[in-house]
Amino acid sequence: MFTILDLVQPDNLAEAYQILSDKQNNTILGGCAFLKMGKKRINKGIDLTNLNLSYIQEKDGFIEIGAMTSLRELETHPLVKEYYNGVLPKSVRDIIGVQFRNGVTVGASVYSKYGFSDLITALLSLDTEVELFKAGRMPLVDFLARPKEKDLLVRLWIKKTMRQATYLSFRNSASDYSVLNVAVSTLDNRWTIAVGARPSRAAIAVSASAMLSQDVLTSEKIEKVAQRASEEISFGTNTRGTATYRKALCKALVKRGIMEVLA
Ligand SMILES: Cc1cc2nc3c(=O)[nH]c(=O)nc-3n(C[C@H](O)[C@H](O)[C@H](O)COP(=O)(O)OP(=O)(O)OC[C@H]3O[C@@H](n4cnc5c(N)ncnc54)[C@H](O)[C@@H]3O)c2cc1C
């Protein structure tokens, strides 16, 4: 269990960031589910409750999601359910249970760049940007590639389009981490295939996505694209599955994902 020596509730983002920067072990608190699993000794726990960051709204052609929004809110919000075939609710609905998802936050889930993340894979298949207090706004794919820096994730911006998408994951048992997860989306015949829980951080299968965007899709072509995705993405082994198993799963899930989006 972690220890918090002092709890602070800043009234604005600048103050929160200042406290975060003041000392190495000053730490932002999301829902604390992940922090609780560790033994970190936190000097100042920074609670963002007063910053009104728990919301989902439309703004300037984007869906804006505040960092303190819970995964359950993401799962049930009408706007998020309506867009992208509900790919975001789909991606989080198998994470533990409703009570758990009521507590854990979108900001922590994305900021932490967990390899096993279901949400990051789904977000990666959409036109998602991350807004950090210090580093500013950038595409999610760039954020994931950056070395980890102390910052405060403020909100996500997802371009509001008619993108069609789906999300699939394979778990050894209900509520366990995914052995592998895949999100597939298309907009104006430009496809994106994202693969996560490899078990490392989610990545886009760039070559397979481009191949899919090229010409008419036949079942033979889809088979080839799925094969390409499984070859270009690297996989590792952990207690949940071997690299070879994940590679085979990738091919099956990508193929199923494309068929689902086409349907
Ligand atoms: C037992 C268990 C099982 C899980 N299973 C899954 C699963 O199957 N699939 C899945 O996708 N996820 C899973 N998760 C992860 C979960 O969905 C959350 O992503 C995770 O708990 C972090 O959310 P939190 O709000 O609890 O963060 P916290 O525990 O509060 O924080 C986690 C980290 O994020 C930092 N942080 C929090 N908010 C911000 C912010 N706004 N800006 C910058 N840094 C911030 C904190 O300082 C801390 O370092 C699991 C977690 C647990 C504990």
- Which tens digits make up the pLDDT trace of 177-203? 999 999 999 999 999 999 999 999 999
Question: Does 101 lie in the same domain as 63?
Answer: yes
Number of domains in the chain: 3
Give residue 21's domain range. 3-51
Question: Does 178 lie in the same domain as 252?
Answer: yes
pLDDT digits (tens, 9 = 90+) for 200-231: 999 999 999 999 988 788 999 999 999 999 99
**Residue 226's CATH number:** 3.30.390.50
Nearest CA to ligand 1 atom 19: 109
Question: Does 243 lie in the same domain as 179?
Answer: yes
Question: Does 125 lie in the same domain as 37?
Answer: no
Nearest CA to ligand 1 atom 10: 117
Q: Residue 21 — pLDDT band, cuts 50, 70, 90? A: very high
Which atom from ligand 1 is nearest to the alpha carbon of 151?
43
Question: Does 60 lie in the same domain as 47?
Answer: no
Question: Does 152 lie in the same domain as 98?
Answer: yes
Question: Does 68 lie in the same domain as 46?
Answer: no
Q: Residue 175 — pLDDT band, cuts 50, 70, 90? A: confident
Distance 9 CA to ligand 1 centre (A): 19
Question: Does 105 lie in the same domain as 151?
Answer: yes
Q: Any residues with Cβ below 6 Å from ligand 1, and which?
A: 27-35, 37, 67, 71, 95-96, 104-105, 107-109, 111-112, 116-119, 152-153, 177
Is the CB of residue 135 less than 8 Å from the CB of residue 17? Answer: no
Question: Does 31 lie in the same domain as 80?
Answer: no
Is the CB of residue 240 less than 8 Å from the CB of residue 170? Answer: no
State the burial class of residue 161 (Cβ atoms within 10 Å of its Cβ: 0-12, 13-18, 19+).
middle
Q: What is the mean pLDDT of the chain?
A: 97
Distance 97 CA to ligand 1 centre (A): 14
Distance 259 CA to ligand 1 centre (A): 32
Question: Does 252 lie in the same domain as 173?
Answer: yes
Which atom from ligand 1 is nearest to the alpha carbon of 70?
25
pLDDT score at 1:
84
Distance 134 CA to ligand 1 centre (A): 21
Q: Tell me the two tokens of residue 56.
A: 């989902």
What is the model's pTM?
0.97
pLDDT at 92 over 90: yes
**Measured CA distances, 215 to 117, 209, 211 (Å):** 32, 12, 8
- Site to probe by mutation for ligand 1, drawn from 24, 41, 112 as the one with most ligand atoms within 8 Å of Cβ, is 112
Share of the chain above pLDDT 70, in %: 100
Domain end, chosen from 112, 144, 159, is at 159
Distance 34 CA to ligand 1 centre (A): 5
Which atom from ligand 1 is nearest to the alpha carbon of 31?
25
Domain end, chosen from 159, 190, 206, is at 159
Nearest CA to ligand 1 atom 38: 108
pLDDT score at 214:
84
Question: Does 213 lie in the same domain as 131?
Answer: no
- Site to probe by mutation for ligand 1, drawn from 104, 124, 173 as the one with most ligand atoms within 8 Å of Cβ, is 104
Question: Does 152 lie in the same domain as 125?
Answer: yes
Domain end, chosen from 159, 176, 192, is at 159
**Residue 131's CATH number:** 3.30.465.10
